[in-house]
């Protein structure tokens, strides 16, 4: 049973930007941003068990009707038991009795899909009960879009999609686009992610956002936002209003820094790529010298695992 997710807003609020992984705002500050976005017309919110921020969406639903928003979450569940644990956690901590979308997080190929198939089977049972309305996968791999996206169990695919293909692990934007065309032909829905490549495509933010917003392949685009100005800016690009420059100037004054995710494997490729000598390996992980970093993003092009973001 598909929910009326067709009514979900074109911009999906990517709440990784408001998770403890990336943000130290108070619960009230985070919730006020979500409420502001909702009041501006954004009613679709993406989260994950990994993000540890179900509390902000629970707080949001204290201020609005749960049925007026759409929540997508995801976990690494691989069995009936781990899937039930993940769904129960989401339902409890979000204070809801249904989930609009539940995805298996970071799928790589048909082989990983098979490895998680017991969880997929359980999701199908929960979908029949109306507890989960749509089943999906999130992925940084075009092969997962191509080979898993076509499976009958999958309703929604959540892939990296930006004009330079930053973050696509196993290929390029052309291959990802071809894979997306294949699943769209079968009637699948696509929630794009990383339209700004984790903060690395801000030289022409308007063009980068429009690449996803205006693509006939993309139903919704998940965008991380930590400031009201970013919410306003993204909506102005979506709606083709004329206040881009003023908002862009305001956003450009916000502090930014290079962030290395905790899943860094310490391969050292980024250290070799950095011409500023701003990166080094410490205890098997990459560490940034913020005084030397010029936010050029060249290091991100060398990172296979998409660990490097500007936030």
**CATH code for the domain of 140:** 3.20.20.100
Q: How confident is the model at residue 49 (pLDDT cuts 50, 70, 90)?
A: very high
Q: Are residues 133 and 262 in the same domain?
A: no
Average pLDDT for 275-280: 91
Write down the pLDDT at residue 244.
Answer: 74
- The pTM (predicted TM-score) of the whole model is 0.90
Taking only the tens place, the pLDDT of each residue in 78-104 is: 999 999 999 999 999 999 999 999 999
Write down the pLDDT at residue 1.
Answer: 41
Can you give the residue range of the structural domain that contains 83? Answer: 5-252
Question: Measured between alpha carbons, how far is 197 from 202 in angstroms, rounded to an integer?
Answer: 9
Write down the pLDDT at residue 294.
Answer: 77
Please say which residue of 208, 228, 252 terminates a domain. 252
CATH number for 276:
3.30.70.20
Average pLDDT for 156-161: 98
- Is residue 150 within 8 A of residue 182, CB to CB? The reply is yes
Alpha helix segments (H runs only) across the chain: 27-39, 54-63, 80-94, 110-115, 117-129, 142-148, 173-185, 205-213, 228-238, 244-252, 269-273, 298-302
Which one, of 66, 215, 64, lies nearest residue 133 by Cα? 66
Q: Are residues 200 and 298 in the same domain?
A: no
Please say which residue of 252, 285, 300 terminates a domain. 252
Please say which residue of 237, 252, 267 terminates a domain. 252
What tokens does 155 get?
Answer: 């309703």
Write down the pLDDT at residue 2.
Answer: 45
Q: Are residues 139 and 265 in the same domain?
A: no
Q: Are residues 192 and 65 in the same domain?
A: yes
Question: Measured between alpha carbons, how far is 112 from 214 in angstroms, rounded to an integer?
Answer: 31
Instruction: Indicate if the pLDDT at residue 121 is higher than 90.
Output: yes
The total domain count for the chain is: 2
Q: Are residues 41 and 104 in the same domain?
A: yes
Write down the pLDDT at residue 3.
Answer: 58
Q: Are residues 272 and 204 in the same domain?
A: no
Question: Measured between alpha carbons, how far is 44 from 190 in angstroms, rounded to an integer?
Answer: 13
Q: Are residues 18 and 72 in the same domain?
A: yes
Which has more pLDDT, 22 or 210? 210
Write down the pLDDT at residue 288.
Answer: 97
Q: Are residues 287 and 208 in the same domain?
A: no
Instruction: Indicate if the pLDDT at residue 109 is higher than 70.
Output: yes
Average pLDDT for 202-227: 96
Write down the pLDDT at residue 184.
Answer: 98
Write down the pLDDT at residue 297.
Answer: 81
Q: Are residues 133 and 211 in the same domain?
A: yes
% residues pLDDT > 70 (the chain): 99
Q: Are residues 235 and 301 in the same domain?
A: no
Q: Are residues 244 and 290 in the same domain?
A: no
Instruction: Indicate if the pLDDT at residue 209 is higher than 70.
Output: yes
Q: Are residues 119 and 10 in the same domain?
A: yes
């Amino acid at each position: 049973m598909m929910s009326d997710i067709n009514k979900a807003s074109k911009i999906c609020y990517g709440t990784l930007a408001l998770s403890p992984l990336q943000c130290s705002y108070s619960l009230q500050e985070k919730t006020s941003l979500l409420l502001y976005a909702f009041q501006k017309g954004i009613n679709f919110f993406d989260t994950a068990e990994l993000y540890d921020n179900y509390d902000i969406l629970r707080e949001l639903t204290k201020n609005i009707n749960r049925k007026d928003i759409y929540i997508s979450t995801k976990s690494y569940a691989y069995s009936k038991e781990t899937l039930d644990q993940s769904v129960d956690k989401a339902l409890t901590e979000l204070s809801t009795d249904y989930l609009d979308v539940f995805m298996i997080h970071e799928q790589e190929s048909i082989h990983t899909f098979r490895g998680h198939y017991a969880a997929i089977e359980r999701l199908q049972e929960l979908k029949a009960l109306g507890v989960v309305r749509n089943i999906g996968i999130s992925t940084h791999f075009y092969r997962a879009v191509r080979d898993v996206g076509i499976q009958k169990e999958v309703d929604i695919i959540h892939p990296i999609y930006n004009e330079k293909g930053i973050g696509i692990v196993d290929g390029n934007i052309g291959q990802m686009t071809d894979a997306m065309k294949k699943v769209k032909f079968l009637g699948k829905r696509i929630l794009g992610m990383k339209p700004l490549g984790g903060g690395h495509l801000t030289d022409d933010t308007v063009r980068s956002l429009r690449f996803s917003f205006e693509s006939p392949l993309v139903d919704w685009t998940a965008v991380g936002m930590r400031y009201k100005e970013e919410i306003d800016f993204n909506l102005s690009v979506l709606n083709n209003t004329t206040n881009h420059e003023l908002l862009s100037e305001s956003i450009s004054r916000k502090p930014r820094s290079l962030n290395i995710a905790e899943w860094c494997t310490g391969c050292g490729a980024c250290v070799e790529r950095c011409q500023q000598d701003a990166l080094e390996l410490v205890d098997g992980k990459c560490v940034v010298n913020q005084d030397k970093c010029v936010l050029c993003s060249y290091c991100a092009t060398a990172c296979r695992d998409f660990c490097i973001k500007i936030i």
